[in-house]
A and B are shown apart, each in its own frame.
Chain A
Amino acid sequence: MNNEIDKNQQQEEMSSSTLFVFKGSQKDFYRMMSLFEAGELSDLLGIEVLDVGAIVESQLVAQPKVINLSQWFQNNFVEAIQEAWLTLEEVFGKSIRNPAFRSQAVKRAKSIQLGDRTVALILDIAPAENPEISTILGVYPIGSQTYLPENLKLNVYESEETLVELQAPLQSEGMIQELFFLPGEAFRIEVSLGDFKQIENFLLFPTR
């Protein structure tokens, strides 16, 4: 009986692992990675090292929730508000400089901080030809800014496929793109500026 418990404990110990997150110099990382890849690190440390690799700070932050856009059509914005998707007026104030959005559509905006710059991402959704959903995406400067930061990128992905790849030119007052999705489809929007990136995930639940 005791032997069995010991064996189980041993098995648990064998399959368990610990992940350490380090901060250090690039030189220290290179040394550790080289020793690991050369198969020497475990012996030198006296601990079995299973994997080593670089990460970026954003990986430490939990991924944003997937927003169910179907709820927006039902006038349910509870989830949207939790993820800071607000009305255009709440994000832009009373003076929206670029109201290139449809009056009959469901519209929400989110303020996005990318380093020392802030932009607004706008989503404008409306039923198109059944069962398609027309989605207009926009990125606009916010607050006192007149133009988007140069080289700001807006990418949209559906699974592995890149649907949109836009880059703000010099003195751009905004970027806009229309896409069509079917119920059940999911997509990811990435807004990035240099090393700063904001990811937003969306899903259009199929109607039952």
Chain B
Amino acid sequence: MTNISNPPCLECQEAEQRENLDINCILNRLKSVKKSQLSSREISYLCLCLCLLSRYEKAFRMVKYKTPTIEELNTQDPEISKKGENLSADMSKTVHLYLKEMMSIDEEKRLPPWSKVVSFMRDTGCKKNQQLPQVEMQRFMFIARVKGNKISDIEMQKQLKTLGIEIEIIEMLRNE
């Protein structure tokens, strides 16, 4: 049985630390929607989503139970990608539905972006009262995978700047 006085999994602790969330608070709310505890698979998936990971990394971690390196994220094992699609489809019938009900969103509508779900959780009382290190708030690392191998880093940076997104590109990996 899951002990919900402490975060029940490593992914839960990660979501708490990365996004300043109180996972027990979220799990308790979802428990009242589902009318039972979320399964360990549902909890892991939810927490990986709340960590705002890429689709491929979520699938990789659910399949391989380890954090991928940047090379593994770049390599893209088709089998893992396929399992990721199936996972997302499965979870849209469970975790996504519970979240929509919790957020008073019509069942037919799409779940808002996970960054909005994270903000909703924080704003509605599931915020962990921990002081995040200032450096982490200022410097955040993230990835984007784009189709094709023609775009240069300068071009990418320029395009993002047009959207008001000013970032530094620290690495660029081609997958031929």
Known A-B contacts A37-B113, A53-B52; A59 and B140 likewise in contact (beta carbons under 8 Å): no
A33 touches B149 (CB 8 A): no
* Chain A positions 38-52 with a Cβ under 8 Å from a chain B Cβ: 38, 44-52
A63 to chain B, nearest CB (A): 5
Q: Name A15-70 residues within 8 Å CB distance of B.
A: 16-26, 28-38, 44-63
Cβ contact within 8 Å between B115 and A25: no
Query: Is the pair A19, B168 in contact by a Cβ cutoff of 8 Å?
Result: no
Contact partners of B148 in chain A: CB under 8 A: 13-14, 16-18, 47-48
Chain A residues lying within 8 Å of B67, measured Cβ to Cβ, are: 56, 58-59
Q: How many A-B residue pairs have CB under 8 A?
A: 200
**Interface members, chain A 73-128 (any B CB < 8 Å):** none
Measured between alpha carbons, how far is A25 from B167 in the docked complex, in Å? 8
Residues of B within 8 A of A63 (CB): 69
Is B144 on the interface with A (CB-CB < 8 A)?
A: yes
Q: Which residue of B lies closest to A50 (CB)?
A: B145
Is B174 in contact with chain A by the CB < 8 A criterion?
A: yes
- Contact between A57 and B141, CB atoms less than 8 A apart: yes
CB of B143 within 8 Å of the partner chain: yes
- Asked if B102 is an interface residue, CB under 8 A from chain A, the answer is no
Q: Does A207 contact B (CB under 8 A)?
A: no
Q: Please, which residues of chain A bring their CB within 8 A of the CB of B53?
A: 53-55
The answer for the CA separation of A25 and B138 in the assembled complex, in Å, is: 5
Q: Is A4 an interface residue (CB 8 A)?
A: no
Known A-B contacts A31-B164, A54-B51, A62-B69; A22 and B169 likewise in contact (beta carbons under 8 Å): yes
Interchain CB contact under 8 A, A28 and B172: no
- Is there an interface contact between A45 and B176, defined as CB atoms closer than 8 Å? no
A23 touches B145 (CB 8 A): no
Q: Is A130 an interface residue (CB 8 A)?
A: no
Interface size on A (CB < 8 Å)? 51
Are the CB atoms of B116 and A21 closer together than 8 Å? no
Contacts of A31 in B (CB 8 A): 163-165
> Which listed residue (A12, A45, A54) contacts B163, Cβ 8 A?
A45
CB within 8 A of B168: which of A22, A32, A37, A47? A22
Beta-carbon contact of B69 and A18 below 8 Å: no
A12 to B144, CA, bound (A): 20
**Minimum distance in angstroms from B9 CB to a CB of chain A:** 9
A-B CB contact pairs (8 Å), 15 listed: A17-B145, A19-B175, A21-B141, A21-B142, A28-B165, A34-B113, A36-B144, A37-B112, A38-B113, A47-B146, A47-B147, A51-B144, A53-B54, A55-B57, A195-B17
Measuring CB to CB, which residues of chain A are less than 8 angstroms from any residue of chain B? 12-14, 16-26, 28-38, 44-63, 155, 157, 159-160, 188, 195
Q: Which are the 8 A-B pairs with shortest beta-carbon distances?
A: A53-B54, A24-B167, A37-B113, A21-B171, A48-B147, A160-B65, A22-B167, A34-B113
